[in-house]
Structures are given as structure tokens and as C-alpha cells.
């Protein structure tokens, strides 16, 4: 039987654009109550507008341990019984460069956000899930977590780490009804490319050159597929490529 998300509380970390924002829309359409978290509050407020009780904007910087550890207590009482967490917060800002051309701050920030940030968000929500014995964590890896390419050593390392962490987490909670899923998207049209280069025209040129491109909604569909599978089914990994590669 399809898992019903109606009235379930789901946190989306990294909800202010791209895959996270598309996932918020799909979850709301399923009747879930969604906590939309990220750093850009103006974006989250626009997303939550006219949806009181259904969508709660929450300030969150996953690279900041205090922001993440205080996350649940900063939620209003009625929003803390979290069923699911979708961790979309991630970036590759300044990372597309040969190893010696990226500075220490850049690579530390990629690891801090993509790896430690994902781990921290999971830590912040897991107690509620273990107390109930049920829940669902979804992380965003990448096809870069399966391969490597020139100029991508740090980002790729971060996504390999997300893959290992997610699979380990699934095994840790294998004696309960807590499900753990990793989504591994291929190239998807979001703000990711623009932030990677800090330049919209470079991102457009990059997308123009790509033989095929996914839309954020395609990845949101994969996330919803995993989250609505029968509770006895753990869809552990979904790899999504554009048809034309
Ligand atoms: P976007 O740049 O559109 O979205 C990234 C999201 O992460 C934003 O909501 C941003 O919000 C949030 N974020 C970044 N840093 C932090 C932080 N420190 N704290 C909280 N939130 C943060 O890109 P995508 O939607 O494409 O990216 C989502 C995930 O998908 C990432 O993990 C990315 O690595 C992965 N992915 C993307 C692919 C692609 O081709 N686009 C391919 C494979 C994987 P804010 O800035 O407001 O904090």
C-alpha cells in the first residue's frame, strides 16, 4: 500500500531553489506539512505565502553547527513531530577547478555544506524518528558520487561521502521502520550551475552545450516515488540521468 504523506511533517533543507523548492511543491500537493529551510528567508517566505499551517519557512545554515542543532527547538511546538527530512542543501561554489587552483576555504566549504551539513541535519531530526520507530530520510547525492572528472575532485569526494553515509545510515536503522534513501541526479537545470561559477551566462552556456538536461521536477518525482513507496519498501538509491548524455 502506497505510503500516505497527508498531514505528515516533512523538513526540506535547501528548499529555497532548484530541487528543494520543487520537492516542497510536490510534498504540499500530497497534503504533507512542509518545513522549508535554507539561508535565503525571502525565498522561503515567498514559497510559504498563503499556505499558513501547511508550509513553514525556517532559517537554516547547514554549515553552521549551532543553526542545525537548534533547528528543531526553533520550530513551533506543533511542527516538531517530523516524519521525513529531504536534505537538498548543497553546492559547488568555486569548486570547478583543478585541485591546486581552488583555495582551502572553497574546498572546506564544499565539504562543510555537502557532507557535514547533511550529517548534521540527519542528526537533528533522527531522535524524533527513533522515538516513534518510523520516519524517512532522503539525501541528495549525485552521479558525481559514482564517478570523478577533471576539476571536480572535491565536489565528487563530497558526494561519494554522502553515498557512503546514506547507505551506512540505512543499515544503522535497519531494525526499525526508518527508511533512508539517496537520490543521485545527473545534470539538472537549477541555480546550481550559476552559483558554481558565480555567473549566469556561463551557466546558460553550460546548459546549452549539454545534450540532455533534467528539470528539478524530475528529481522531485523520484523523491516522491521513494517517499510514497509502501512502508516495508526502502528504495535505497535512485540514479536519474537525462536520456541524452
Ligand atoms: P540550487 O543551487 O538551486 O539549490 C541549492 C539549495 O541548497 C538552495 O536552496 C540553497 O539555499 C541550499 N543551501 C546551500 N548551502 C546551504 C547552507 N549552508 N545551508 C542551508 N541551505 C543551503 O541547486 P540544486 O537544487 O541543483 O541542488 C540541490 C542538491 O542537488 C545539491 O546537494 C546538489 O549537489 C545536488 N545535485 C544537483 C545537480 C544539478 O545538476 N543541479 C546534480 C546532482 C546533484 P540558500 O542558498 O538559500 O541557503
Domain over 9-239 is classified CATH 3.40.50.720: yes
- By most ligand atoms within 8 Å of CB, the mutation choice from 90, 145, 147 for ligand 1 is 90
Please report which confidence band the pLDDT of residue 159 belongs to, taking 50, 70 and 90 as the band edges: very high
Closest CA to 180 of 124, 94, 238, 112: 238
155 is catalytic: yes
Tell me: pLDDT of 97 over 90. Answer: no
How many Å apart are CA 50 and CA 60, to the nearest integer? 21
Give ipTM to 2 decimals.
Answer: 0.99
Catalytic residue among 149, 155, 173, 225: 155
Q: Summarize pLDDT for 183-209 with one digit per residue, the tens.
A: 999 999 999 888 888 888 888 998 999
- Computed over every residue of the chain, the mean pLDDT equals 96
How far is the CA of 33 from the CAs of 10, 27, 39, 85, 134, in angstroms?
6, 8, 20, 12, 17
Measured between alpha carbons, how far is residue 19 from residues 86, 88, 174, 222 in Å? 10, 7, 27, 11
> Is the CB of residue 188 less than 8 Å from the CB of residue 228?
no
Domain spans in the chain, listed from the N-terminal domain onward? 9-239
Query: Which of 42-46, 51-55, 202-206, 214-218 is predicted with the least confidence, judged by mean pLDDT?
Result: 202-206
Residue 22, helix vs strand vs coil:
helix
Q: 210, 10 in Cβ contact below 8 A?
A: no
Amino acid at each position: 500500500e502506497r505510503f500516505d504523506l497527508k498531514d505528515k511533517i516533512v523538513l526540506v533543507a535547501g528548499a529555497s531553489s532548484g530541487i528543494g523548492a520543487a520537492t516542497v511543491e510536490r510534498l504540499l500537493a500530497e497534503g504533507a506539512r512542509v518545513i522549508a529551510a535554507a539561508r535565503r528567508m525571502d525565498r522561503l517566505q515567498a514559497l510559504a505565502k498563503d499556505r499558513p499551517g501547511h508550509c513553514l519557512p525556517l532559517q537554516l545554515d547547514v554549515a553552521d553547527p549551532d543553526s542545525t542543532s537548534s533547528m528543531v527547538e526553533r520550530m513551533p511546538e506543533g511542527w516538531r513531530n517530523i516524519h521525513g527530512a529531504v536534505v537538498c542543501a548543497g553546492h559547488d561554489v568555486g569548486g570547478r577547478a583543478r585541485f591546486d587552483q581552488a583555495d582551502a576555504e572553497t574546498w572546506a566549504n564544499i565539504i562543510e555544506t555537502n557532507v557535514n551539513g547533511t550529517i548534521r541535519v540527519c542528526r537533528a531530526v533522527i531522535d524524533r524518528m527513533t522515538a516513534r520507530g518510523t520516519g524517512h530520510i532522503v539525501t541528495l547525492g549525485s552521479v558525481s558520487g559514482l564517478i570523478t572528472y577533471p576539476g571536480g575532485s572535491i565536489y565528487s569526494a563530497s558526494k561519494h561521502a554522502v553515498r557512503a553515509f546514506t547507505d551506512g545510515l540505512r543499515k544503522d536503522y535497519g531494525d526499525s521502520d526508518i527508511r533512508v534513501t539517496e537520490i543521485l541526479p545527473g545534470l539538472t537545470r537549477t541555480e546550481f550551475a550559476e552559483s558554481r561559477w558565480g555567473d549566469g551566462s556561463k551557466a546558460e552556456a553550460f546548459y546549452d552545450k549539454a545534450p540532455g538536461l533534467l528539470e528539478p521536477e524530475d528529481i522531485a518525482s523520484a523523491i516522491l516515488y521513494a517517499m510514497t513507496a509502501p512502508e516495508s519498501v526502502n528504495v535505497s538509491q535512485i540514479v536519474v540521468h537525462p536520456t541524452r548524455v
